[in-house]
Amino acid sequence: MKIRSVYDAAFKAYGQILEGYETAELLKAMEEIPLPDAGTAYRPGIERLEACGVVADLRDRAYGGMPIQIGMCWGRNTKLNCLEYHRDSEVNIGTTDFILLLARRNQIEDGVLDTEKVVAFRVPAGVPVEVYATTLHFAPCEVPEADGFRVAVVLPEGTNTEKPAVEAKNEEDRRLWARNKWLLAHPESRQAQNGAYIGLRGLNIDIREDL
């Protein structure tokens, strides 16, 4: 799989680079959180990250004053496993370079996305990137020169918390996995085994050989 840079023109269909944000304090706070022994971890909101000065700037500039949360996804990963989307953009900031596996919501056909549609972009350390609400994404992937990854995840407050109790009345309702989180799982993924909507067809991409 070809891994492009987020500075490549092709990234414009999936997101944009955000400029003018001071991320040093946030990155330092993220680095203080130890990596898991294996796999990945995620928390929607982390107090020590939300205490950093850049939070107000992200809230007021990136989200136009809407309430936000800053959590983190961290660990070790090179596989796709799932893709998700929200009704709002997500902002990611990594302590090291990391790779995003992305596709577009309009590429979903009859409730399924072929993983051949997935593309990869490398994000430089400390650079905030906005992933559009129309972009499918999931856990970041590590780069070989880094010991795992730590990526801040900025989202509207409440996202990825407890799923609302709703009766599924259409296909999209079946994908709802958490609050403001719609998930398409690969059949091989842990999420699929736990009952997530199976919406990915094709190879469960592993970029280990492409790094």
State if pTM tops 0.75: yes
Spatial neighbors of 52 by CB under 8 A, at least 6 apart, are 25, 26, 29, 70
pLDDT tens profile 104-138: 999 999 999 999 999 999 999 999 999 999 999 99
The neighbouring-strand residues paired with 101 are 120
CB 181 within 8 A of CB 196: no
pLDDT tens profile 78-102: 999 999 999 999 999 999 999 999 9
pLDDT tens profile 22-42: 999 999 999 999 999 999 999
DSSP state string for 89-145: -EEEEESS-EEEEEEEGGG-BTTBEEGGG-EEEEE-TT--EEEPTTEEB-S-B--TT
Give the angle subtended at the CA of 45 by the CAs of 43 and 51, to the nearest 5°: 135
Tell me the average pLDDT across 176-202: 98
Q: Could you tell me the residue ranges of all domains in the chain?
A: 3-210
The CATH homologous superfamily for domain 3-210 is Jelly Rolls (2.60.120.10)
